Structure 1
């Protein structure tokens, strides 16, 4: 009996934070009732590597379905339309996609193009009357983000940002622990986000298309993580930049930035964002009643973590599958994730990034 009880306890703990949607069979093998609600019909704009990952994840969605494609590359349209059985009438290029206004097959467009294109493309989608899902960062600065928020409000459509971690089970469990006071008063957060970037000619190292460098792409995870782990909004930032390869990381494209944030309660965050070091995907937070460490903390594979109470044991589900089903639930039923994924949430991160870049230039403490 003891071993069975331990097994049941482990199963119960593991299931925390996972919707029943992803438990197709119960503990004793009985099938859950299939989902019969509305399906969010999504077109993907920009058919690159991350879009490929999203499309594959959506094959396992029950509330969202890939129904349309937008790309400037005809060969990709042809390849994807065959693979995902997308009809020609739901395929567009960057010049004619405004015509989705007259296509009832499409409810939302997931914009997965370079950062510098998000604002204009998202506003065009909104004016076409479709919900907008923008990959993060939502733009290249807070002004662009706010313009997207305003345009979507004017068009009466949703603007959601691709914050997949807000649906990830171990992350959700940690945030709930913090909300429940299990860490006491949070005091300190450390975020390390980085990897060694390859091809020097890629768009992520192009100031016009990326809006910056590592901070835009990977540092934003530590910014967002600090906010949801500590449960507060920062009131100041300081930052220092290190650049060892100015040929690869040209003016306006950051290679490595260390940054610090202060919060109203007195909690502080110390973070690193880099395109020049591997094995950096770690969050650590401590309070006066406990602590949590997550490593990897934001990668695509299974998140791993432990707290003062023991290891996090929630099962891994592909992040983008949870994200897209969660966003469908938000759009159709108004159900909000534990941390928002709306445009306003995206603007908060962009304001902090703006302040970090300003702190790097001035060497000063920037009040938020």
Structure 2
């Protein structure tokens, strides 16, 4: 793929076969991200619709349902199967440690599942989630919107085709001042039990998973350092868990074939997100890499030339839900499936162990 072909591919859906029909979704969990980002993206797309909304707050469910013409349900009603005929699939957007419960309910109902990342709070629960969907024969997609972004997909093909030679190093950062909003310290992201950790689980998974996708490879071992000050430093209730609500985390990852990775995630400090992949014959750098709907700048430098572009591609959250619905309509397994999501949770587990022990930690396979 030459550089002009790369730019052209960065604004093209390479997966769309124009199927007939739509997939109706039940949105489980009505936090700010689901209401302000996900639901508008679903409604802006071609292949998915919002037909039910589920919340622990019946008044919120009724209010959101009224705005979007969707059946309002409480968590209890969803679990008991009320309104089940209103939707084909379930979008799980609740706190990490209860993803399994809602996904298992959906699978038991015979409904397909798109589940927010990280897939769950622990590898064991993530594996149980994937197993439940596999046993029920339903589609499971981990909601990695970056993997559906035409820019990222084009860059992945470019790397795979040898566009920057042999990858040698990947680096990335996602810093998000989580206390800068209106919620303050009393939010589930700072509850290590619900979140499964802190900055790593919430924003660190973006550079990690996007690098895995770009390289087509998984880390085999990690070194790490994690730090936290109040109110980030609470330990989970499980005394055997090495996890806490990390404020900052720095990861050194060993990939096969000698590629090394270096990633940081932070819940405080100046907001930023970027990713860079270096190869034997060039490099790729993305600025404003992971912000939903962000205007990314891409710089590609190779031994045959350079190109920089921005304002190319599409809203990756719209792409995420259309891609999932397309997979359901065409009976096609999604690329970011449950096992993909499980891998990142397993890597995160190794990161927390490495940070706790100060030792290089192999990544277990589940």
Q: 2:150, 2:108 → 1: CA distance?
A: 34
Equivalences for 1:39-78 in 2 at 5 Å?
39-52=22-35, 53-78=37-62
Find the partner of 1:227 among 196, 205, 212.
212
Q: 2:4, 2:279 → 1: CA distance?
A: 26
Q: Report the CA distance shift for 1:20/1:342 in structure 2 as closer, same or farther (over 3 A).
A: closer
Q: Report the CA distance shift for 1:120/1:279 in structure 2 as closer, same or farther (over 3 A).
A: same
> TM-score, length-normalised on structure 1?
0.88
Q: 1:220, 1:44 → 2: CA distance?
A: 22
On the 8 A contact 1:169/1:314 being kept in 2, the answer is no
Aligned pair count reads 343
Find the partner of 1:347 among 330, 342, 345.
342
**Secondary structure at the counterpart of residue 241 of structure 1:** strand
Q: After superposition, give the CA deviation of every residue in 1:17-57 in whole Å (9 maximum; x if it has no partner).
A: 522899xxxxxxxxxx9x67021110100111111111111
Q: After superposition, give the CA deviation of every residue in 1:136-172 in whole Å (9 maximum; x if it has no partner).
A: 0110011111000111111111111110001112111
Q: 2:92, 2:129 → 1: CA distance?
A: 12
Partner of 2:352: 357
2:307 corresponds to 1:310: yes
On the 8 A contact 1:98/1:128 being kept in 2, the answer is no
Partner of 1:105: 86
Find the partner of 1:123 among 76, 94, 104.
104
Find the partner of 1:214 among 178, 195, 199.
199
2:280 corresponds to 1:288: yes
Equivalences for 1:1-368 in 2 at 5 Å?
13-14=7-8, 16-19=10-13, 37-52=20-35, 53-86=37-70, 90-100=71-81, 103-198=84-179, 199-243=184-228, 245-251=229-235, 252-300=244-292, 301-308=294-301, 309-313=306-310, 315-335=312-332, 340-368=335-363
Q: Report the CA distance shift for 1:248/1:353 in structure 2 as closer, same or farther (over 3 A).
A: closer
On the 8 A contact 1:191/1:225 being kept in 2, the answer is no
**Secondary structure at the counterpart of residue 294 of structure 1:** strand
**Secondary structure at the counterpart of residue 86 of structure 2:** coil
Q: Report the CA distance shift for 1:51/1:281 in structure 2 as closer, same or farther (over 3 A).
A: same
Q: After superposition, give the CA deviation of every residue in 1:78-126 in whole Å (9 maximum; x if it has no partner).
A: 221221112xxx3221112134477333111101011111111211111
Q: 2:48, 2:176 → 1: CA distance?
A: 31
Q: After superposition, give the CA deviation of every residue in 1:160-212 in whole Å (9 maximum; x if it has no partner).
A: 11100011121111111101110110000001111222111111001221111
Q: Report the CA distance shift for 1:342/1:145 in structure 2 as closer, same or farther (over 3 A).
A: same
CA deviation after TM superposition for structure 1 residue 314, in Å: 6.3
Q: Report the CA distance shift for 1:15/1:238 in structure 2 as closer, same or farther (over 3 A).
A: closer
On the 8 A contact 1:101/1:130 being kept in 2, the answer is no
**Secondary structure at the counterpart of residue 152 of structure 1:** helix
CA deviation after TM superposition for structure 1 residue 279, in Å: 3.0
Q: 2:137, 2:217 → 1: CA distance?
A: 29
Q: 2:220, 2:155 → 1: CA distance?
A: 23
Q: Report the CA distance shift for 1:115/1:20 in structure 2 as closer, same or farther (over 3 A).
A: closer
> TM-score, length-normalised on structure 2?
0.88
Highest Rg: 1 or 2?
1
On the 8 A contact 1:100/1:106 being kept in 2, the answer is no
Q: Unmatched 5+ residue regions in structure 1? A: 1-8, 23-32
**Secondary structure at the counterpart of residue 75 of structure 1:** helix
Q: Unmatched 5+ residue regions in structure 2? A: 236-243
Report which stretch shifted further, 74-83 or 203-212: 74-83
CA deviation after TM superposition for structure 1 residue 330, in Å: 1.0
Q: Which runs of 4+ in 1 moved over 4 A?
A: 9-12
